[in-house]
Amino acid sequence: MRYGYIRPLDLYDTVEQQKSKIKNTDGLFVEAHAHNKKRDELERLLNETIHDGDTIIVTDLCILADSTKQLLDIMNQAEEKDIVVSVLNMDLKIDGSSDHSFIRVLNHISNFQSDVVRFRTRQGMTDAVSKGKQMGRPRRSDDNIKRAVEMYMSKQYTLDEIKEATNISRATLYRHLDK
């Protein structure tokens, strides 16, 4: 069976243009919004409707997924169920039959992007440390912590009063009491 999936993402085609391009289907799944969260129609298509050997038709990959990772997840799910994904504007059929399948290439691209982000993050942290920046959460003043512990031990103040006076949270206070 052939199912079309449409999302109102007017990057290339409007909803009406997508509908006119996606023809001869056994069902059309149209999202009500373009947001990347709560894509109910896509979830319904992938988890309830589609079966082994079926085809999903979209006009562009960005209609189907919002990130390389999400696209990889969808393609892996499609490969498991032997589903063909047809991308009309790219004249592309993704079926996982090639030794250098689209999914394998996409997996490499996804790993590459993760490595680049990880590398840039580490490089930024190293540069910041070399410029004298402190990494992590700022330390609380030892004087404030000492004062908070003294107030707690005197049993004359509530936790809220201690927090108000010293700006030390309950968790921080308890952590220092345990030492």
Amino acid found at 3: Y
CA dist list (Å): 165 to 37, 144, 171: 42, 9, 15
Most confident range (mean pLDDT) of 21-35, 95-109, 165-179 is 21-35
**Predicted confidence (pLDDT) at residue 116 exceeds the cutoff of 80:** no
Rounded distance, CA 20 to CA 88, Å? 11
pLDDT tens-digit readout, 118-137: 877 888 888 899 999 988 87
**Predicted confidence (pLDDT) at residue 19 exceeds the cutoff of 70:** yes
pLDDT tens-digit readout, 45-85: 999 999 999 999 999 888 888 888 888 889 888 988 899 99
pLDDT of residue 156: 94
pLDDT tens-digit readout, 92-111: 888 877 656 777 777 768 87
**Predicted confidence (pLDDT) at residue 33 exceeds the cutoff of 90:** no
What percentage of residues in the chain have a pLDDT greater than 70? 95
**Which of 67, 68, 55, 66 has its CA nearest to residue 29?**
55
